[in-house]
Each structure stands twice: as structure tokens, then as C-alpha cells.
Amino acid sequence: MKIKIEHNNNLYEITPNEGVSISIPMNFNDDDNPKFYDENNPKKEFYTNNGIEYKVNDNTGCNVPLVQFNVHCSGTHTETAAHVFNDTHSIGSLSNLNFIPAILISIHPQSNVDDEYHATINSDDKIISKKILEDSLSTETQFLDCVIIRTLPNTEDKKNRNYNDVSHPFLSNDAIKFLKDKGVKHIIIDTPSIDRSDDGGQLKNHKIFFSDHNKTINKNTVTELAYIPNRCIDGRYFVSIGFPSFQLDAAPSNPVIYKVK
């Protein structure tokens, strides 16, 4: 089965069963998860009523799990402007996030760049600069609704890396402004944040990306802690960002990418 998608008066083809998930599986009661700030692992127990624990293993007929996890710090998640602004839309209120035109780029973050950032940058910080993005996106004009950023080296330990022990690459303010000027509405990245882990609580990159020049709050999204397998080559994709209808600022998500043929 193949699907044809019309975009900007051009017809593109994808194969649905060749979609690739770029999310990190969430493991419960297990240390095999990424960590960012929160050192706790996602937890799972089972609903208990009248002394009965609802587990199939206990011959109760069905499993009724109760789970607890940190949306932003334990795995792949998609966030909205409500992450940094009050009184705005929840993740569950967003729609039409299926088959978004996207470009996948693989980049080497750099140290000692001249870009603007709102907090102190250390000499060993790795930055995704405006220049890096300019070079990576220089030939793309059609598939810029979403940019998927794979940082290099791309090793599998990203799936369970403790970012409290290892600092992560982040974007400069100039890089975020460049993406907005290019018309990007969705960012998917394999780091825990588009901001520095310690920026004094400002999260200015988020605020820049989630607000427009006239100070209105937009419906852009940022998906963090993704993992893009090496078998996915750079280039054009359509992406569907799957998430539950939570009335929250963010939710666990499962972006699936479909290579454009």
C-alpha cells in the first residue's frame, strides 16, 4: 500500500508500513531510560480494590496498571507554549499534526561560537548555531514545516543516558530565530532540551519559538529526547506526531517518520 500526499502543488508518495518511530520506549520499574534532572524512573503498579490487585498474573482477568512518570525528563515528549506561558492551549487541544512535511538533518554541535545566547556559555558547551543550520538547510525550501535534528555522534546510549552527568548540546538564540524566519513550526531533537540545562530558569529559546513577533502565542511544538536511528538517512520526510489527548503542557509522544519517495 502506498499513499500519495499533495504538498505545495507537488505530489509525493510514502509507504505507510515503512514508517520509523523516532521515540525512545519508556520502561517502567527499570533503569533503562534517559534522565534529565529527575533521577527517578517511571513507575508502574496495579490498581487494588477490596484487597484484589488487578494483574493477569494473579488470575484477576485483566491488567489495570497505574503509572507515574515525569513527562519532560523520562523520555520522548512533545511540548506546547503552555510549557513556558500561562493560560494557553494544552497539548491535547492541538490537531493536524499528521504527515507534516519535515527535513531530517544530522549535525555536529560546536564549541566557542559567536551566536547570541541569553545565559553564560562555557567553553565546553556544545552549541547548535545559526551557521550550522544555515549550511544544513541551504538547499531546502519546501519541507520546512518541521526540522528533525540528529546530533552527532549518534550512539544508542542516548536511549538511557543520564544527562545529569553529561551536558547536552543546545541551540543558540540566533539558531531558534533563524528556524522561525524559515517558517519552521515544529522542532524534533534528540536532546533533552532546546535550551541549556541551566540557564537560570529563563528557557528563552522556548519562549522565542512559542511566541510570534506581535507577542501572540502560537501553536508550534517542540519534541525532545527523540532518537533517530542511523538507518534513517538525511532528507525529506513526512512526520506524524502521535500523543495522548492530555490537558497538559506536554505529553509523551511517538513521532513516526515516512521517507519521501
Is residue 238 one of the residues assigned to a domain? yes
Is residue 55 one of the residues assigned to a domain? no
pLDDT of residue 61: 87
Q: Which residue type is seen at 65? A: P
Q: What is the tens place of the pLDDT at every residue in 131-179?
A: 999 999 999 999 999 999 999 999 999 999 999 999 999 999 999 999 9
Cβ pair 99, 238 in contact under 8 A: yes
Is residue 130 one of the residues assigned to a domain? yes
Is residue 60 one of the residues assigned to a domain? no
Q: How far is CA 142 from CA 100, 109, 208, in A?
A: 11, 25, 23
Is residue 226 one of the residues assigned to a domain? yes
Q: How many CB atoms lie within 10 A of CB 103?
A: 24
Contacts of 33 (CB under 8 A, 6+ apart): 24, 26, 27, 41, 42, 74, 75, 160
Structural element, H or E, at residue 128: strand 127-128
pLDDT of residue 214: 77
Domain count, the chain: 1
Q: What is the CATH number of the domain that holds 196?
A: 3.50.30.50
Is residue 139 one of the residues assigned to a domain? yes
Is residue 155 one of the residues assigned to a domain? yes
Domain hosting residue 106, numbered range: 3-27+71-259
Is residue 42 one of the residues assigned to a domain? no
The candidate with the shortest Cα–Cα distance to 188, out of 229, 144, 149, is 149
Q: What is the tens place of the pLDDT at every residue in 48-98?
A: 999 899 999 878 889 999 999 999 999 999 999 999 999 999 999 999 899
Q: How far is CA 239 from CA 151, 224, 254, in A?
A: 18, 15, 10
Dihedrals φ, ψ of 50, to 5°? Answer: 55, 40
Cβ pair 29, 44 in contact under 8 A: yes
Q: How many CB atoms lie within 10 A of CB 214?
A: 5
Q: Model-level pTM?
A: 0.96
- Spatial distance between the Cα atoms of 260 and 146, rounded to a whole number of angstroms: 14
